[in-house]
Amino acid sequence: MDAGLRALLKAALKAADPAAAVGRSLRLDKSRVIVTDPSEHHPRDVCFNLNAVRRLVVIGAGKAAPAMAAAVESVLGSRITDGLVVTTSGRYEPLKRIRILRAGHPIPDGAGRRAAAQLVDLVTDLSPDDLVLFLLSGGGSALLPFPAKGITLRDKQRVTDQLLRSGATIQELNAVRKHLSLLKGGQLAARCRPARVISLILSDVIGNPLDAIGSGPTAPDPTTFRDAIAILKNRSLWPGVPLSVKQYLEAGCRGARPETPKPGDPLFRRVQNVIIGDNRTAVEAVAKKARAMGLNAFVLTNKLEGEAREAAKRFGVLARRVRQTGQPVSRPACLIAGGELTVTVSGKGSGGRCQELALAAVKEITGLSGTTLAAFATDGRDGPTDAAGAVVDDKSLLRAVRMGLDPDRYLARNDSYHFLKKLGGLIRSGPTGTNLNDLYLLLVR
């Protein structure tokens, strides 16, 4: 990876810094906690008088939870009564007021189940004079598994794995998970009642739907048990779903299990959800850096979705268009997109959505001199691998042929990781401590 591309990715991560996002949204003015909602056209402040707050409890979950918690503690300090956040593996400095626990992702594990139980204990028996500050970022859904009665953690692990392999969107995945949980889909907010709740959210979901980010623990849930069953059937997963899951979802359809809290529920009158950062933040930072480097930057979208292989074809078309017509911008061009692609897994290889895109693009951009495509997961982990993504260029296919590597064979096995590792195209950053979806850069010099 050349220095220019490295500088662009560095700019994205700097803009996605969780502590900076919290700092822009939370401040203390004497005895008042002031929360600014930066997502609105005209940012507005919400104030809380700490002199009227009996207990201030900080909880959270996600890959950015430690950095968010550290930033909150630096602002509120000894005003925090107690705190607990759950995150993935990594090295973090311990905090004075907020405990940090680690759990499994993307498949939930026993550590997450135990952490969720401790978090629930913290918000049990709160009063109307208490304030809960909830810190949510990407990965929060898997990190807080609290299965519904009769469903084991192993059942949830199996369903999660089935959905991930089917190419299900994050919205589909979370619609199912919300209806197998006692925390997701607004149910955490219900457990905090009658306390006041304010959630600071770093979004890793396209379009920032509150009910889908981390499965919306403090947001109204518009999905239903029937939706969950329909998703599993449409993805051809229903026959292989554990019996306990089938029975629970079917009981929910009959009204024998309580639905998640819906929009309009009075519960949410004392809940405020604030988006403090999203993929657009990273995309715009890259565009600014690209222009400073003398590149003609063009933002394609921050809502890129669909199969990684199909997206690779579209990037190939764009590269040819830039070279032939100078549209949408002339060379040297930097076309930028953000979002989250999917991979329908049929092989037994290893990889992630960013790596799959890069592998599929090898043949699409070959021969287009000066063309480079990079795909990068802002959390530093692309799929169940140690890579954050990958970079390929117009000469990658030639190098692969010389090494005896057939991209089509690797693609058929969904084995992008080993192809790109041998080719030297993997991007390894390690955990970044944030998560604002993925970043895709097409450079045509």
H helices present in 216-373, as ranges? 225-234, 243-253, 279-292, 308-325, 353-364
* Own/partner long-range contacts of 300-304 (Cβ < 8 Å, ≥24 apart): 300/335, 300/336, 300/337, 301/337, 301/338, 301/339, 302/206, 302/278, 302/337, 302/338, 302/339, 302/437, 303/206, 303/207, 303/338, 303/339, 304/206, 304/337, 304/338, 304/339, 304/340, 304/341, 304/440
Instruction: Name which of 168-182, 364-378, 387-401 the model is least confident about.
Output: 168-182
pLDDT digits (tens, 9 = 90+) for 40-92: 555 678 888 999 999 999 999 999 999 999 999 999 999 999 999 999 977 78
Percent residues over pLDDT 90 in the chain:
84
Residue 326's CB is within 10 A of a number of other CB atoms, namely 12
On average, the pLDDT of the chain sits at 94
Query: According to the model, what pLDDT value does residue 408 have?
Result: 97
Alpha carbon 362 to its chain centroid, in Å, reads 26
* Alpha-carbon gap, residue 356 to 362, rounded angstroms: 10
Q: 138-147, 352-361, 420-429: lowest mean pLDDT where? A: 138-147
Here the tokens at position 331 are: 């060379």
State the first-to-last Cα distance of the chain, in angstroms, to the nearest integer.
15
User: What does the pLDDT average to over 179-185?
Assistant: 95
pLDDT in tens, 190-230: 999 999 999 999 998 888 999 989 999 999 999 999 999 99
Q: Across residues 138-144, what is the average pLDDT? A: 90
At 68 the pLDDT is: 96
> Which band of pLDDT confidence, cut at 50, 70 and 90, is reported for residue 108?
confident
Q: How far is CA 383 from the centre of its chain?
A: 12
Across residues 238-261, what is the average pLDDT?
96
Residue with more model confidence, 418 or 93: 418
The pLDDT score that the predictor gives to residue 42 is 58
Q: What is the mean pLDDT of residues 361-384?
A: 95
Q: Mind listing the pLDDT tens digit for each residue in 76-89? A: 999 999 999 999 97
Cα distances (Å, whole numbers) of residue 305 to 39, 195, 310, 312: 22, 38, 10, 12
pLDDT at residue 167 in the model: 86
